[in-house]
Structure 1
Amino acid sequence: MMKYTWFIVVFVTCMIVEVQAQDFQGKAVYQSKTQVNFDFGNRNIPEDRKKEMMERMKRANEKTFVLNFNKTASIYEEEEKLEQPGERGGGRGPRFGAMTGTDGDLYKNIKDQRYLVKNELLGKIFLIDDELQALDWKMESESKKIGNYMAFKATAIKTVKRPNMRAVFRRPGGDEEKSEAEKEDEFIVKEVEIVAWYTPEIPINQGPGLYWGLPGLILAVNDDVTTIICSEITMNPSDKIEIKAPNKGKKVTQEEYDTIAQEKMKEMRENFRNRGGRGGGRPN
């Protein structure tokens, strides 16, 4: 197994050197689905209303992204969705991805090991500029076909930080009242296993979102709540796209952005409670 893994690494390294000597570009389309548990509690909500809310939540968490890449850099952008007929306000709610800085246009430069994200947080534009964090990938023996490409499995442990929407939308009083420590927990931090599938046939160490660092383009990735899978790849498209870093917005580091987002979460929680906790269900 180790000999096999090293063969792949050496082979792909040689291909990367060859690719970097060429002027090439690629485009990969990804489908992303995120699971959100929705707890209605003891609220008296009609079943048809619950079903409608769950459908809107499901649609809001099914997204399409496009990754345009060259030999050193990439830009990862969400495709805009057309509003569905009869959908009120496009089915939009709070953009929870904005709370972690993962909802905007994401630029990654592997050579400089930097990333930039242009992100809107409750009406204000921020530009997150920080260092790419490398995961300690473990090469696995499993392989499978994804589309026309042979993909190999890799795993890693990653610490993730996600908004705790239960803390934001918890109603005051009753059985839902928690300790002061729990009420201040706007974010949940935990370790999760990341499972990725990469193809040496496209020998660049890029991937969707902030994922990178494998000897081939990452075609699929899964954490404990989100699954991202590539549905289409175009190499050297006739219409070239300039891959450049975003430059608009208030420049902050990821840590600074997280602090700002946490304060916004507190404001949302207080505003919700000041309205008496009125609303629909309670996301987890």
Structure 2
Amino acid sequence: MKPLITYLFIFCSVVCFAQKNFSGRAVYQSKTSFDMERFNNRDMSEQQKKRIMDRMKNMLEKTYILNFNKTASIYEEEEKLEAPGRGGGFRFGGFTGGTQYKNTISKDFLEETEFFGKNFLIKEKVELPSWEMGAETKKIGNYVCYKATMLKKTDALDWQNMRRRSRGRDKKRKDDEATKKVTEDIEMPKEVLVTAWYTPQIPVSNGPGEYWGLPGLILEVNAGNTTVLCTEVVLNPKNSIDIKEPSKGKEVTRKEYNAIVKKKMEEMQEIWKGRRGGRGRGSRR
């Protein structure tokens, strides 16, 4: 009897939302686990590691806002005032947080981002994610959520899942089947398992960041080392939500942008190697 009541409640929610225009705002907390041992450097003391981790906390724990309507959404990091002396926080490789727009009908995806002081507008058409629907349920807040999973190919810039390359020959050969080389010292898995929890009680095919394509708003995502959890949902807020496509920056495709970033990272790696080599030569004198 209880499952029947649940399904009836969900059905009524879908009918209710379908009969009127609506919008909403969802707040998400994103946390990424990061093991410094993966990037263990013999020249780095425990104190230096701790200092780096303290600086990285702003990058590993973030708050995002998703503004959405029936067909489109804007996803961006919540603006926060930096504490005095923090120097604007830690930026990974020159990246700064941007704005992501997606339209679930036209399948247009736009991302406005900044990289080493230059603004870019990434434009692409996205395909419907290949979710595998499950029957397992759980409650997040007041919402009944259903489980869905998929294997996602990692992006070249997916730093959350990067790890130090193995030095053991046999292990390295084995890992190469499931991992890809990022640099001489860093690799990442070719695929990660993504687990999403969505609620048909909010029948929009949307969710945080790149995740969408389910018959309900995605309230939780677990992907590799990162968990994104919705902590608040406000439907039809008093202040109207205006969702506009971002337009700032040089227009590029995802492939073009990745190539730009890869080239810059290689340049920075060469500079870093040169500096380390210079220190090494100086130490022999």
Q: What TM-score do the two structures reach when normalised by structure 2?
A: 0.79
Matched residue, 2:193: 193
1:140 shift after superposition = 1.2
5+ residue gaps, structure 1: 280-284
Alignment deviations for residues 171-219 of structure 1 (CA, whole Å, 9 cap, x no partner): xxxx9xx9xx874687746111110000010001000001000010000
Q: Which is worse superposed, 113-122 or 15-24?
A: 15-24
Instruction: Tell me if the contact between 2:24 and 2:69 (Cα under 8 Å) persists in the aligned partners.
Output: yes
5+ residue gaps, structure 2: 173-180, 280-285
Please give the alpha-carbon distance, in whole angstroms, between the structure 2 residues aligned to 1:62 and 1:83.
Answer: 14
Alignment deviations for residues 201-246 of structure 1 (CA, whole Å, 9 cap, x no partner): 0001000001000010000001111110000000000001210100
Please give the alpha-carbon distance, in whole angstroms, between the structure 2 residues aligned to 1:236 and 1:278.
Answer: 60
1:35 shift after superposition = 2.2
1:15 shift after superposition = 6.3
Equivalent residues in 2 for 1:227-242 (5 A)? 227-242=227-242
1:268 and 2:264 are equivalent in the alignment: no
Equivalent residues in 2 for 1:87-102 (5 A)? 87=86, 89-95=87-93
1:274 shift after superposition = 2.0
- Aligned to 1:275, the other structure's residue is in SS state helix
Matched residue, 2:81: 82
Matched residue, 2:61: 62
Q: 1:140 to 1:31 in 2, by over 3 A?
A: same
Instruction: Tell me if the contact between 2:27 and 2:230 (Cα under 8 Å) persists in the aligned partners.
Output: yes
- Within the candidate set 147, 154, 172, 1:153 is matched to 147
Report the aligned-residue RMSD: 3.1
Runs ≥4 residues deviating over 6 A: none
Greater relative contact order (Cα < 8 A, sep 6+): 1
Equivalent residues in 2 for 1:1-284 (5 A)? 19-38=17-36, 39-45=39-45, 47-87=46-86, 89-95=87-93, 103-163=97-157, 183=183, 188=188, 190-276=190-276
Q: 1:164 to 1:146 in 2, by over 3 A?
A: closer
- Aligned to 1:130, the other structure's residue is in SS state strand
Please give the alpha-carbon distance, in whole angstroms, between the structure 2 residues aligned to 1:63 and 1:51.
Answer: 19
Q: What TM-score do the two structures reach when normalised by structure 1?
A: 0.79
Instruction: Tell me if the contact between 1:32 and 1:226 (Cα under 8 Å) persists in the aligned partners.
Output: yes
